[in-house]
Structure 1
Amino acid sequence: MVIETVVVVAAAALFAVCAGMVARRVLGTPVGWPRTFVVGLVVYAGSSPFATFVAAAAGLRGGPDHLSVSVLVAAAFILLAFGWLFAFGVAALVAVEAIWPTGSVPNPLRLVRDLVGRRRRTRRYLAILSIASRHGLSRVLRGRRVSQPELERTPVALVAALNEAGVTFVKLGQLLSTRRDLLPDRYVEALSHLQTRARPVRWDEIRAVIEAELGGPIDTFFAEVDPKPLAAASVAQVHAARLADGTDVVVKVQRPTAQAQVRADVDIIVRLASWIETRTDWGRDLGAVALAEGFAQSLRDELDYRTEHRHMEMIRKASGESLLAVPLVFPTLCGQRILTMQRFDGVPVGDAASALAKIPDSDRRALAANLCDEVLRQILVHGVFHADLHPGNLMLREDRTIGLLDFGSVGVLDRETREALAAFLQAVDNDDNAAATDALLLLAEAPESLDMRTLRRDLGAVVTSMRYQTGAGVFTQFLDVVRVYRLGVPPYVAAAFRTITALEGALTLIDPRFDLVAYARSIAPRLGEELFPPEQLAAAAKSRMAAFLAVSRRIPGRLEAITANLESGRLAVRFRPFADPDDRVFLASLVTDGVSALVAVAAVVSAIVLVVTDAGPLIAPNVRLDAFAGYVIGFFGFVLILRSVVRGFVRPRRRS
């Protein structure tokens, strides 16, 4: 009995798998295996009762005389019954696919895991909305009209809400505080006061992270590690340490819960951004979704210290023998959540007022000029630059050089973008607003409604101001033009603007009289020469001339062929509307599906006519040959209709 049960179950499973494979093949689309397996089981379970019903309806169970002459006919009816039962199962599969497409329903294990995560995320989501409501931001988030007093209070309320929401939202606010091309000054000013200082994590938790990342006891790798952190932020904290050979280092260790917290909050931020962009005009103008997704990606990169290690090596190689020092990294003592690097002596520029006061004014100016020179060279010449140059990430060392810290955010500019930036600086130096506008539009995407004449005039006023005014206000005016005209600045270009804006603040701390705009104008020609060295220009001209000569050799022959065809009246223009392979595949798919649908309809109509005609010889007591043929043709027509229907609503989109 047990063996028979096992055999029956195995046969049912094998049949279900085979039926599922046939169903997927018939439909011609990737339908999920669980549902096709269920359809196969249903067909298997119903095949015997349905075949019995069909045989009885055809009169094949009337007696021995019928059976003796109708064995082949009975087999044909049984096959037909099985085919129609299979077709009904495929129809059910198509209906399920239409209501719940493959992939829309997760597997049970994932569903349980997602439900647990969703519950936690929902609580956090409601907490964020509660914080926003408590600080009076609900009307703004819903896109409703607000009064002028409410509008004036919004920046302060936004800062308070972000501070209360936690680390990820504070970091988002800090990012927004550097985007003067997106936000008005009052928001930028308010957001610039956000801080990410946090209470230190217990040493035993930090020690566990270090040992997990390095794969052994901490004493194996360090002679000494100070349990008290040098600094504690929301994502990581830094500890002083010493290697076995006496080298002083610092160990940057990620908080144990940082990744889980950031991952949950980033998901909420992207969802909120989508909601805001859908419901509010200012969200659409801001590009909330793209901004949130860019922030999410940068934060994920920041949580992987192997990425920061690569960033440090990039900056070191790009800077060469510059006056900006990059800490040495100890690769064997690094991991995804730990980074061990050289310890710089000195004090952050933001806290170096007393140390700077002891430096003569001329030396302070030289220090500021060197810093400005190297950062602009990183951006314009090398195309690899530190994208988070706030005063806390610049270390004033005892030898009066500047050390760079925290390489979680590094910008990379391609050569075309660097050339456009250089062209913009050159246009400013020449007071050429038309060239400045052209260069700006190479850096940013213009909306369809852009008024070029007005943009050129307003940008010209800023260009003129850059020649005669001093201070960061001029650069702020330029970013105001970008924001007012809704020019779409790519993230990598925005990172360069952010670096320049942050650099201005650090330079002011080093030398309050230093003028970034004037100094940038003065060194622009020299940086341009480094970007376009004569030997490189000569080599580029030589290679392009060689390519032009190779092409030009073919021009006389082609001109002669064209004129000869014109003279003889044989000139023709060939138009290939479907030259692209994707276009041909798309058209072939449309034609195939259209023909299949026509054939299916014709088959069903023909089947109905044959069944209702009641003509032809009897092949069973209750069924004539024409009716049987109608049932067979109808089966194939029905299957073709199902195939056309399912391909209609799961057709892949054309690639643009």
Structure 2
Amino acid sequence: MLFAIGAVVFAVAATWLAKRALEARVGWVRGPLVSLVVFVVFAPLGVWVLRQAGIMRGSGVLVDNPITIGFVLLVLAWMFAIVLIVLIALELMWPARVPVGPIRAIRGALHRRRRAMRYARIVAIASRHGLGGMRSESARAELPRALAATLDDAGVTFVKLGQILSTRSDLLPAEITRALATLQMDTTPIPWPEAKSAIETQLGRPLDLVFTFIDETPLAAASVGQVHTAQLRDGTDVVVKIQRPKARAEVATDLDIIERAAADLERRTTWAKDVGASALAAQFAVALREELDYRVEVANMEMLRDSMTAADARAVRIPDVYPELCTEQLIVMEHVRGIPFSRLPAPGEPGSVAPEDATAIADAVLDVIVGQVALRGVFHADLHPGNLILQPDGIVALIDFGSVGIVEKSLRRLLLPLLVALHNEDDSGATDAVLMLVKPRSGSAVDVAALQHDIGVLLTRLHNSRADQHLFSALIDVLRHHRLALPPGLLLAFRTLGAVEGTLRRLDPGYDMIKRALSRAPHYALRMGDPRTAALSAQVQLQLGRERLRDLPRRVDGILHDLESGELTVRLRALESPDDRSWVESLTGRLTTTVVGATLVIVGVMLGVADHGPLLTETVSVFPFLGSIVGLGGLLLLLRSLRSALVRRESSGG
């Protein structure tokens, strides 16, 4: 009974002391359990030590000696040191997690269950469509169809992923991009009763109070929602875009899976770290979450419509929208009649566009898009073939404005010289423009000569070949190779232009978008450099320069005064931030603690092997006793220093 009580008391006391000695969370499960095991294992050894020292008799009774309490406390202290060693070793192998409350734990368990069930469902879908065994030639021939069917059945997130991949003909074989292109509009529709209930919920009233007619058969089923044709009570033909009721919950789980997979890939592979898989997954997640809020899409439509010029409106139009009927999950907009680019007949087939008309339409659309990017700085960033509709009058209508890119004017002023240099095959000018546009990643230097060489090779191939060129994708790859990071808005613009190339070739298979875009760059550069804009920019710089000159005498006078009075100081950027100073102070403290601890351990060992000096008991002299105390103190200091280093490594992501 006494042994059990002692074990419990030691376990509680050792756990409490360990929490403070290690400056970390020591769980009330791991700590007491380790302490109990150490006590059970090493208590007999401690009793043997006390008997060898003459402190305890054979019957287990302590001798009546003033030093007895000191020996007992020393034995318990060494057992406590063993507890710390075991806890640190366990922390290295199995780091303890931050304790969570019961509600959070239950919520986390339910979330993990949903994620596991989603994993299992995706695997089952892939297996059902034949993606599990693509070993034979005949099976591999079915890969495009099977992949498209799997993504279609997997739901909103994966359909959207397929839409993005369908425009990357520079990365995927043509047969796969063609199969994925069917995901643009031909996703599985939700049943009409479910769609009707969702529409009435968003409107807050029955359908017949808003519409005189609504078609139960969807006009199109997209990745996030589906579209029904309808007629307002005033006779206006409209389309109703309703979000899939289960889209939000499904997207949340899928994005969690994608973000976790991207982070795991970055930890395990170099290529994922180089392309920034986590950042790409995060951007995809942000874009998809915005797409789930239809109010953002309505605002994007209004912004792009306001930014268009009269010349733009003759080539591209944005449908009218009815904001009073739009909600977070519902859009009511003008009915656009025409053929999506994803369903255009191939050249020569019935209903196909004449080659000369196709080229003219593609030129006009490209001029608008490049103008949006380079001049106005706002552009439709999701231009896959399903989002461009060719109307009977030859004007192209844009739909689905869930993703809109923005390029600020300071970047546009540099983007246009870059496009002009690319058009002129000026690798030196293009390199200078790139270096002004992008920033090197932290810790990396730019080899300007190598960068200019790679850009020059890229431009030489572009200007001397009629083969398909993917300039913007190739330029992004060159910058990534040199560890140069494009600003997010500019990166989205380049990717949009790369996607537009594949989209316009649905209209004109031989369309050379790159040469057309580059040939128009000087025209846009002249438009941006109009005299009024240049005069206003010069006025701004002049006023700022005058203010700096006005402030200059006061600054010079302050410097001279400090110099005369001997108070002039120079601040070094190194160790300027509090984090840097904290790191140096922490490093110095750990180094000092380690040196002192190691010294005490050495001194303790030297005292422990000394066999002379006054006796404390019949068999133990004072020097070994003091050596045990000093060595114990040194060991505790070393353990504390080790734990501090581990805590800092964990907090820095190491």
Structure 2 residue corresponding to 1:379, chosen from 368, 373, 379: 373
Consecutive unaligned residues in structure 1, runs of 5 or more: 138-149, 279-283, 566-570
Structure 2 partner of 1:142: none
Q: What does the per-residue CA deviation read over 1:107-162, in whole Å, with 9 as the maximum and x for residues that have no partner?
A: 9976797588558637856986996674469xxxxxxxxxxxx9xx9997764563
Rounded Cα–Cα distance in structure 2 between residues aligned with 1:54 and 1:221: 92
Structure 1 partner of 2:119: 121
Structure 1 partner of 2:534: 534
Match status 1:162 vs 2:147: yes
- Aligned residues of 2:297 and 2:400 also touching (Cα < 8 A): no
Letter in 2 for 1:434: S
3-state SS of 1:451 partner: helix
Rounded Cα–Cα distance in structure 2 between residues aligned with 1:227 and 1:75: 89
Rounded Cα–Cα distance in structure 2 between residues aligned with 1:587 and 1:88: 31
Describe how 1:279-298 pairs up with structure 2 within 5 A. Answer: 284=271, 290=276, 294-295=280-281, 297-298=283-284
Match status 1:613 vs 2:644: no
Q: What does the per-residue CA deviation read over 1:13-71, in whole Å, with 9 as the maximum and x for residues that have no partner?
A: 9986765443132123455564235446667889998887776555455599x98964x
Letter in 2 for 1:451: A
Structure 2 partner of 1:26: 21
Structure 2 partner of 1:301: 287
Structure 2 residue corresponding to 1:328, chosen from 290, 301, 321: 321
Match status 1:83 vs 2:77: yes
Tell me the TM-score normalized by structure 1: 0.71
Letter in 2 for 1:630: G
Structure 2 residue corresponding to 1:259, chosen from 251, 259, 265: 251
Letter in 2 for 1:191: T
Q: What does the per-residue CA deviation read over 1:395-430, in whole Å, with 9 as the maximum and x for residues that have no partner?
A: 456898654311233223243432221112343576
Report the Cα offset of residue 96 of structure 1: 0.6
Rounded Cα–Cα distance in structure 1 between residues aligned with 2:392 and 2:419: 34
Letter in 2 for 1:409: S
Letter in 1 for 2:147: L
Rounded Cα–Cα distance in structure 2 between residues aligned with 1:113 and 1:349: 39
Rounded Cα–Cα distance in structure 1 between residues aligned with 2:53 and 2:627: 14
3-state SS of 2:218 partner: coil
Q: What does the per-residue CA deviation read over 1:189-208, in whole Å, with 9 as the maximum and x for residues that have no partner?
A: 75255221233233345456
Q: What does the per-residue CA deviation read over 1:433-481, in whole Å, with 9 as the maximum and x for residues that have no partner?
A: 532343245456797596355445445547868xxx9xx9786456556
Rounded Cα–Cα distance in structure 1 between residues aligned with 2:575 and 2:545: 35
3-state SS of 2:405 partner: strand
Structure 2 partner of 1:313: 299
Structure 1 partner of 2:173: 187
Report the Cα offset of residue 598 of structure 1: 2.1
- Aligned residues of 2:259 and 2:281 also touching (Cα < 8 A): no
Rounded Cα–Cα distance in structure 2 between residues aligned with 1:165 and 1:444: 38
Letter in 1 for 2:190: V
Rounded Cα–Cα distance in structure 2 between residues aligned with 1:134 and 1:423: 51
Q: 1:445 to 1:13 in 2, by over 3 A?
A: same
Q: 1:173 to 1:473 in 2, by over 3 A?
A: farther
Structure 1 residue corresponding to 2:584, chosen from 576, 583, 587: 587
Report the Cα offset of residue 524 of structure 1: 0.7
3-state SS of 2:173 partner: helix
- Aligned residues of 1:39 and 1:90 also touching (Cα < 8 A): no
Select between 240-249 and 497-506 the one with higher mean Cα deviation.
240-249
- Aligned residues of 1:121 and 1:268 also touching (Cα < 8 A): no
Describe how 1:220-619 pairs up with structure 2 within 5 A. Answer: 226-240=215-229, 248-254=238-244, 256=246, 258-259=250-251, 262-263=254-255, 266=258, 270=262, 277=269, 284=271, 290=276, 294-295=280-281, 297-299=283-285, 301-307=287-293, 309-314=295-300, 316-317=302-303, 319-320=305-306, 322=308, 323=313, 324-325=317-318, 327-328=320-321, 330=323, 334-335=327-328, 338-350=329-341, 371-395=365-389, 403-427=397-421, 432-443=426-437, 448=447, 451-452=450-451, 454-455=453-454, 457-458=456-457, 461=460, 476=470, 480=474, 483=477, 486=481, 490=486, 492-503=489-500, 516-517=516-517, 520-521=520-521, 523-529=523-529, 533-546=533-546, 548-550=548-550, 552-553=552-553, 578-619=575-616
- Aligned residues of 1:611 and 1:626 also touching (Cα < 8 A): yes
Q: 1:589 to 1:401 in 2, by over 3 A?
A: same
Match status 1:35 vs 2:25: no
- Aligned residues of 1:273 and 1:289 also touching (Cα < 8 A): no
Letter in 2 for 1:595: T
- Aligned residues of 1:201 and 1:255 also touching (Cα < 8 A): no
Q: What does the per-residue CA deviation read over 1:551-589, in whole Å, with 9 as the maximum and x for residues that have no partner?
A: 654787799899999xxxxx9999775445444333332
Select between 542-551 and 239-248 the one with higher mean Cα deviation.
239-248
- Aligned residues of 1:98 and 1:646 also touching (Cα < 8 A): no
Q: 1:396 to 1:25 in 2, by over 3 A?
A: same
Structure 2 partner of 1:199: 188
- Aligned residues of 1:315 and 1:384 also touching (Cα < 8 A): no
Q: 1:302 to 1:169 in 2, by over 3 A?
A: closer
Rounded Cα–Cα distance in structure 2 between residues aligned with 1:581 and 1:96: 33
Q: Cα RMSD between the aligned structures?
A: 5.8
Q: How many residues align?
A: 612
Q: What does the per-residue CA deviation read over 1:255-295, in whole Å, with 9 as the maximum and x for residues that have no partner?
A: 637437744873696489669955xxxxx4x9785357515
Q: What does the per-residue CA deviation read over 1:287-338, in whole Å, with 9 as the maximum and x for residues that have no partner?
A: 7853575156415632554555325424523542633425536588534xx2
Q: 1:545 to 1:374 in 2, by over 3 A?
A: same
3-state SS of 1:166 partner: helix
3-state SS of 1:86 partner: helix
- Aligned residues of 1:222 and 1:241 also touching (Cα < 8 A): no
Q: 1:120 to 1:316 in 2, by over 3 A?
A: closer
Rounded Cα–Cα distance in structure 2 between residues aligned with 1:329 and 1:434: 50
Q: 1:583 to 1:353 in 2, by over 3 A?
A: same
3-state SS of 2:95 partner: coil
Rounded Cα–Cα distance in structure 2 between residues aligned with 1:88 and 1:329: 73
Rounded Cα–Cα distance in structure 2 between residues aligned with 1:123 and 1:358: 41
Q: 1:453 to 1:229 in 2, by over 3 A?
A: closer
Letter in 2 for 1:251: K
- Aligned residues of 1:238 and 1:251 also touching (Cα < 8 A): yes
- Aligned residues of 1:206 and 1:256 also touching (Cα < 8 A): no
- Aligned residues of 1:276 and 1:288 also touching (Cα < 8 A): no
Rounded Cα–Cα distance in structure 1 between residues aligned with 2:417 and 2:448: 25
Rounded Cα–Cα distance in structure 2 between residues aligned with 1:655 and 1:63: 54
